[in-house]
Structure 1
Amino acid sequence: MFRARQILVRTIVLAVSTAAFAACGQRGPLYLPTDPAAAQRATLPETLNPAASRAPASSPADSASTPRP
């Protein structure tokens, strides 16, 4: 009896997770947007590491003398 319930639960979980993975995402081919509004959006590397997207300081001496916000 316990084995049948375990098989049923695993089957339901598998079906629900398959439906969730199949339903997520955008349909159609992938593309890079070229409209002017897209130019202001962050790229994937900027999203993952926001500190790397900031402009680097001109020299270490200049950055040491400027106060941080």
Structure 2
Amino acid sequence: MLRARQILVRTIPLALSVAAMGCGQRGPLYLPTEPAAAQRATLPETLNPAATRAPAPATPSTAPSSRP
């Protein structure tokens, strides 16, 4: 039984110190808005690769020309 107590005495402070350090993100969380971020996968798409994203609407600068 002494072995289990030693494990708990070592594990609990280790877990508390890791939790206190956090993830390393400083400052407020934000959603990126730059154009490169639009092509990145979202969390649901990462978890379920079969999930499809609706195609982005064509902008006038990228839409195919209907003129001959």
Alignment-derived partner of residue 11 in structure 1: 9
Query: Segments of 4+ in structure 1 off by > 3 A?
Result: 5-8
Picking from 18, 21, 24, the partner of 2:19 is 21
Q: TM-score, normalization: structure 1? A: 0.57
Equivalent residue pairs, number: 53
- Unpaired segments ≥5 residues, structure 2: 55-68
Percent of aligned positions that are identical: 57
Is the helix fraction higher in 1 or 2? Answer: 1
Q: TM-score, normalization: structure 2? A: 0.58
Deviation of 1:54 (Å): 5.9
Alpha carbon RMSD of aligned pairs, Å?
A: 2.2
- Unpaired segments ≥5 residues, structure 1: 56-69
